[in-house]
Structure 1
């Protein structure tokens, strides 16, 4: 992993001067019209089921969106580009993939056999069309806002957001399709089943994960100018292939009937198909995050100013786990105000680090913001945003949360296994 390149600010006037911006805008508009037409037909036939599906999957998108927005804490992606990535996945990629996948499945049936298409059509056609369409969303962001893709982690975030947008819209289509297939009118039972399978259980390691893998390749292609073009293209192609292969495995008929019925069998299939790409992307994210954190923390360390950042805060700022531990420590000592003050200080320090990466002379506005947050924290009797000793409350909370999560997961699996 290389050091991040210098990020630049997103300016509307600069974006609109890019020819690619207007191409992307036209594609988004066309995709919006197409998805609006599909939604209108759904609402006309199954209004209750459609609204229920839209609400359920919209709620599912919220925690994913928040997690991905915070994944690159030190150099957050602009909200406008995060929305663009999500919209590309939900509007453009889906609009292209629905007819494209159907056409490719028909081609497989003609060139191969109807049985081949029935068994493997969804596993071969869907990933081929969908992963290319989603990856082009990250390419579009590079074309219109190149300075904002300055690390592999940026590619991961944008790719995951494209995948999230695609997943939410596709899942709504599948949910309403399940209602139509059930043939019992405007019922929400098929919607809930689809939500549990494609959203609650499969959401962790499906389109969002595939998009993150492909996005990591685009990020590597962009931010490694010291490597040869052939090497960077090969790595981007390998990442796209990894996303495609993971998607093929996910859609494949493997173990469709081989592990029996019930909650345990369903969980085993999900783990077998989803765990390998999940572990891979976690590894890539960790490497990219550590590389980026070391780069930005080094910029702050060069200041040698404990008012702006102390040695203990330097150690904490580069780790998401330690940042969270510092907030918990502040909450234990100064309550919610302490937690919020630590978070604001960490955010101000991150903005200062990014500014330092752009210019050797820091913007006084950013330095002053750090000092203001330091003063606010000091007034609460907690002058330094560092970790505290391990808390039994945190341990109890972690264990309790884990127990609840396992119980909810088991309830969902049991419901589906008995359905």
Structure 2
């Protein structure tokens, strides 16, 4: 089995001398111009509602952005490429899908029937155009910055950010469409309702999730050169099909009326349609993260220098939950400054692991002389001054467990209130 990581050179995210960069740039400009035209019409007709929609969905994007960006802790994607992925989804994929989905729905009506188009048009046309358009965003990143896609997890992150950009812009469009459909002028109530349904309730397992699944396939295609081309393309197509099928299920009229109109019935439909793809992508992320972590931790283990990383820190660094536990333990033992320093130490250790994987240091094992190694020593010295020299996890705290349970209960309560407010119970 090949390594889960295909090391790339320590160089810029992409080069403007690459002709593909200018093709992508032109597509972003064209998409941005089209979205600006749509936004201008919205502001002209419904200025308050449009501003409210942009504000609400922009706020929704922040936690999703932070969560997705943290998925690949050990080798974070360059900010410029994360922004590019988000912009592709919000500007290019949306503009292609607006016209493409309408054309495909019309084709379904002509080849099938108007009844078929009314019932299944959105479930068949939308996913077909949208998932292809979003996946091409990950392909674009591979073309202009191949060295920055060196694990399946990279594909997941870029795909999720493409999906997030698409979801935010599409939701704003739907929100203003709801205002127009209500026919009561520049009102924000339809915007808030759309935000609760399409953003708050459906956001967890919507376009961000579908994009992540397709992106995982592109990542697999790129980082497994030992596999045959047919096998890699087949796996990428299978991932794209999974994203498409999940999207079709989500848009389908299945169970539209079969479970009643109560809050519990609506929640059951959301879970039935959204939970399978959510569990699948969580499994893929966990598997990809563990394999990547094992690769980088093995690189750090060759140093055998406790000033850079200890045996216990090796175990902690490879797990997201253990990294978080180590930060909580530092805060409990030595205060908030120690917590922040532990996080910085973990970041520096991760960068050092990437340096080692790229062979960017020719120093003897155990004594690398890189900026990352200097950062590790600097943060280690600060921790020692704070009386907490090692970034290790402590004994599991009942307070953290209680906090997790409490947060879950509050989340369920908020979902229930939202469903009830929408007329569910």
**Matched position secondary structure for 1:222:** helix
C-alpha distance in 1 between matches for 2:391 and 2:314: 10
Worse overlay, 153-162 or 400-409: 400-409
List gaps (5 residues or longer) in structure 1.
none
Unmatched tracts of structure 2, length 5 or more: 363-367
SS of equivalent to 1:16: coil
Mapped to 2, the partners of 1:393 and 1:7 lie a distance apart of 42
Cα pair 2:327 2:339 within 8 Å, conserved: yes
Residue in structure 2 matching 1:383, options 389, 397, 401: 389
8 Å contact kept, 1:15–1:144: yes
C-alpha contact 2:65 2:161 (8 A) present in aligned 1: yes
Judge conservation of contact 1:7–1:354 (CA < 8 Å) in 2. Answer: no
Match of 1:67 in 2: 67
Q: Distance in 1 between matches of 2:284 and 2:99?
A: 33
Aligned-pair RMSD on alpha carbons?
1.1
**CA distance in 2: counterparts of 1:297 and 1:351, whole angstroms:** 11
Residue in 2 that maps onto 1:230? 230
Counterparts in 2 of 1:113-132, with a 5 A limit?
Answer: 113-132=113-132
Q: Secondary structure at the match of 1:15?
A: coil
> How many angstroms does 1:410 deviate by?
1.1
Count of residue pairs the alignment pairs up: 418
Q: Which residue of 2 aligns with 1:310?
A: 310
| Residue 100 of structure 1: aligned partner | 100
C-alpha contact (below 8 Å) 2:3/2:295 kept by paired residues: no
Equivalent position of 2:406 in the other structure: 400
In 2: Cα distance, 1:184 partner to 1:295 partner:
58
Partner Cα distance (1:112, 1:264) in 2 = 35
Aligned to 2:365: none
Contact 1:9 1:148 in 2 (8 A): no
Give the aligned partner of residue 141 of structure 1: 141
Which residue of the partner structure matches residue 294 of structure 2? Answer: 294
Write the distance in 2 (CA, Å) between the matches of 1:36 and 1:49.
16
TM-score (norm 1): 0.98
Determine whether 1:39 maps to 2:39: yes
Deviation at 1:366, TM superposition (A): 1.6
- Determine helix, strand or coil for the equivalent of 1:76: coil
Give the TM-score normalised by the residue count of structure 2.
0.97
Shift of 1:79: 0.2
Residues 180, 9 of structure 1: alpha-carbon distance in 2 compared, 3 angstrom cutoff? farther
2:6 is matched with which residue? 5
CA contact 1:218–1:236 (8 Å) conserved in 2: yes
User: 1:367 corresponds to which residue?
Assistant: 373
CA contact (8 A) 1:134 1:211 kept: yes
Instruction: Identify the residue that residue 350 of structure 1 maps to in structure 2.
Output: 350
Contact persistence 1:10–1:145 (CA under 8 A): no
What is the CA-CA distance between 1:363 and the residue it aligns to? 4.3
Runs of 4+ in 1 over 4 A off after TM superposition: none
Pairing partner for 2:415 from 391, 405, 409: 409
